[in-house]
Each structure stands twice: as C-alpha cells, then as structure tokens.
Amino acid sequence: MKNANVVQNLFESYITPAMQGFKLRIINNSFIYTRKEAETVQQIEFVPQISTEDGKIIYFRIYPRINVYFKKVNDMARTIFDSCLTEACIENSINNSTYCVPVDMAYKKGRRKRGAANMTSADCSDEAKRVQSIVSEKALPLLDNLKTTDDFIACWENHVIMYPHRFAVYIICAYLLKGNTEKAKKTAEEYFKKINNISEYEAITQYIKNNRFQSQL
C-alpha cells in the first residue's frame, strides 16, 4: 500500500471524525482543517511524516499545529508596522495568522520518540489515535475559547497562550481595538522598549498618540 493511502486511511478513520464543523483541504501533503467562528478563522494543520525501507514503514508521526486569525487585529498591526517591521516571521504571518503554534509546544508535551524499525499497522493507528486524543482534549477546547478579541486578551492575561516578544504586536492591537490604551502602552514598553526594539516601540506610541481609541468590537 502506498504511503499516501496509508495516511489518507488513518485520517479518515481517526482525525476527520474528531474535526466536526471543520472543512478539510489537503495541500502539499498537509491536512488543513478550517472553520470560521465569530471574529476568527481557525485552523488545525496536521503534517504527517512517514518513511519506508524495503517496503516497510519505519517511521510515522503526525505533527499538528493551531492557527487562529483575527483579521481586525492583523489589519491594525499592518497599519502600525508597515514602515518599521523588521521581523521576517511577522511579515509572513501578518496576512493570515495571529496565533500559530505547534500543539505539542502549546501544551508542553514531551518530544515524541522516533519510531521503531518495522512499525506495524497498529503502531501507525496508535499514533493517529494519540494525535486525535490531544487535539480533542486540548486543541479544540482552546479554539473554542479563542473566538473573539476578548477571548484572545483573556487567554493572554491568564497565560493560556504565550508569545515570543516579536508577536506581542497582536496583543497590543487587541488592546487598542478594545479601547484599552494603557494596557497597550504597558505591553509595548515591556515587549519592545525594554529589549531595545526602539523603532517598533516608537511606531506604537506614535500610532496611539495620533489616534483616539474606543472599543471597536
């Protein structure tokens, strides 16, 4: 049986039934499940990796990651940072991603061990079941709690989600969309000024100075 058929069958048996309400697209061997909820576009992308030797499977793992997109948050971030944003990763994410993280990273799961030689069909099924379980128990409940800008801010403030400093631009914009300029300024100072990202910090403060904010959501 070809690798693609093995993977397709495993997804049909274990992953897709858990993704009710999501639409599936398969792009470059990635299984991308998407839904629209309130202010967001939400995705879970599954990237399967499978290796064979002498016709036998020797390695099979599925790597899922969460992606949540708040259009108004990203639109504001683009406006603020159009002239000064130097981080390539932000430039790449700003059009379609506000929060994106591998599921295992988000939930501090241990690294998976490399598959044993000559994995059986049962071994492959166990991997699909493992991923289905963590997505159902952890990832989907998180997405259910990330539907609005208020949800986004609450998850941030309660440390449900974490950001590298360069992605804090999205939290700052969420605060501004809710009219909370003081928290936006405080976050900008902590995540940009204190680590000497001065151009980004000045762009934020200048944007706040030049605009009046009240809740837009």
Domain for residue 165, yes or no? yes
Is residue 168 predicted with pLDDT exceeding 90? no
How many domains is the chain partitioned into structurally? 1
pLDDT at 196: 64
Tens digits of per-residue pLDDT, 47-56? Answer: 998 888 877 8
Per-residue exposure over 170-180, b if at least 16 CB sit within 10 Å of its own CB, e if not: bbbbbbbbbeb
The single-letter DSSP state of residue 17 is G
> pTM for the complete prediction?
0.84
Is residue 151 predicted with pLDDT exceeding 50? yes
Domain for residue 179, yes or no? yes
Strand order in the sheet with 40-53: 23-27, 30-37, 40-53, 56-70, 99-102
Domain for residue 217, yes or no? no
Please give the residue range of the domain that contains residue 108. 3-210
Domain for residue 64, yes or no? yes
